[in-house]
A and B are shown apart, each in its own frame.
Chain A
Amino acid sequence: MKKLIALLLATALSFSLTACGSSESDMDYVKDKGTLVVGITDFEPMDYKDDSGNWIGFDADMAKAFAESLGVEAEFVEIDWDNKIMELDGKTIDCVWNGMTLTDEVTSSMDCSNAYCNNAQIVIVPADKADQYQTTDSLSDLTFAVEAGSAGEEQVSALGLEYTAVKAQADALMEVAAGTSDAAVIDSLMAAAMVGEGTSYENLTYTVGLNSEEYGVGFRKGSDLVDALNQFFADSYKDGSMLECAQTYGVQAAIIEQ
Chain B
Amino acid sequence: MEQIAEQLPIVVHSLNIGFLQTLKLFFITLAGAFPLGLVIAFGSMSRFRPLSYLTKTIVWIVRGTPLMIQLLIVYYFPGLVLHNPVWGGGETGRFAAASVSFILNYACYFSEIYRGGIQGVPIGQEEAGLVLGMTKRQIFFHVTLLQMIKRIVPPMSNEIITLVKDTSLARIIALQEIIWAGQAFMKGSQGISGAIWPLFFTAVYYLICNGALTILLDRLEKKLDYFK
Interface of A toward B, CB cutoff 8 Å? 1, 4-5, 15-16, 18-20, 22, 37, 39, 41-44, 48-49, 51, 75, 77-80, 83, 86-87, 89-94, 168-171, 173-174, 177, 190, 193-194, 199-201
Is the beta-carbon distance between B76 and A86 smaller than 8 angstroms? yes
* Chain A to chain B contacts (Cβ below 8 Å), 6 pairs: A79-B174, A86-B72, A92-B76, A168-B183, A168-B187, A200-B195
* B174 touches which of A15, A20, A37, A78 (Cβ 8 Å): A78
Q: Does residue B8 face the partner (Cβ distance < 8 Å to A)?
A: no
Point out the residues of chain B lying under 8 angstroms from A86, CB to CB: 72, 76, 80
20 extra interface residue pairs, beta carbon distance < 8 Å, beyond A91-B85, A174-B196: A15-B82, A19-B83, A37-B90, A41-B187, A42-B184, A48-B189, A75-B89, A78-B174, A78-B176, A89-B80, A91-B79, A92-B76, A92-B88, A93-B89, A169-B187, A170-B193, A170-B194, A193-B193, A194-B193, A199-B193
In the bound complex, what is the Cα–Cα distance between A5 and B49 (angstroms)? 13
Is the beta-carbon distance between B186 and A170 smaller than 8 angstroms? yes
Contact A90 B80, CB 8 Å, known A5-B51, A174-B186, A199-B193: yes
CB neighbors of A among B24-65 (8 A): 46, 48, 50-51, 54
Nearest to A8 among chain B residues (CB) is: B54
Q: Does residue B129 face the partner (Cβ distance < 8 Å to A)?
A: no
Nearest to A86 among chain B residues (CB) is: B76
Is the beta-carbon distance between B192 and A200 smaller than 8 angstroms? yes
* A168 touches which of B3, B54, B85, B186 (Cβ 8 Å): B186
Smallest CB–CB gap between A24 and chain B, Å? Answer: 11
Smallest CB–CB gap between A69 and chain B, Å? Answer: 21
Smallest CB–CB gap between A18 and chain B, Å? Answer: 5
Point out the residues of chain B lying under 8 angstroms from A90, CB to CB: 75-80, 85
Q: Lowest 3 CB-CB distances: which A-B pairs, in order?
A: A90-B79, A200-B194, A19-B82
In the bound complex, what is the Cα–Cα distance between A49 and B185 (angstroms)? 12
In the bound complex, what is the Cα–Cα distance between A199 and B81 (angstroms)? 45
In the bound complex, what is the Cα–Cα distance between A78 and B83 (angstroms)? 21
Q: Does residue B87 face the partner (Cβ distance < 8 Å to A)?
A: yes
Q: Does residue B190 face the partner (Cβ distance < 8 Å to A)?
A: yes
Point out the residues of chain A lying under 8 angstroms from B91, CB to CB: 77
Smallest CB–CB gap between A99 and chain B, Å? Answer: 12
In the bound complex, what is the Cα–Cα distance between A37 and B89 (angstroms)? 7
Q: Does residue B188 face the partner (Cβ distance < 8 Å to A)?
A: yes
Q: Does residue B115 face the partner (Cβ distance < 8 Å to A)?
A: no
Identify which of B48, B80, B195 gathers the most chain A CB atoms within 10 Å of its CB.
Answer: B80
Contact A173 B172, CB 8 Å, known A42-B187, A91-B79: no
Is the beta-carbon distance between A1 and B51 smaller than 8 angstroms? yes
* A43 touches which of B46, B85, B90, B188 (Cβ 8 Å): B188
Smallest CB–CB gap between A197 and chain B, Å? Answer: 13
Point out the residues of chain A lying under 8 angstroms from B84, CB to CB: 18-19, 22
Point out the residues of chain B lying under 8 angstroms from A201, CB to CB: 194
In the bound complex, what is the Cα–Cα distance between A174 and B51 (angstroms)? 52
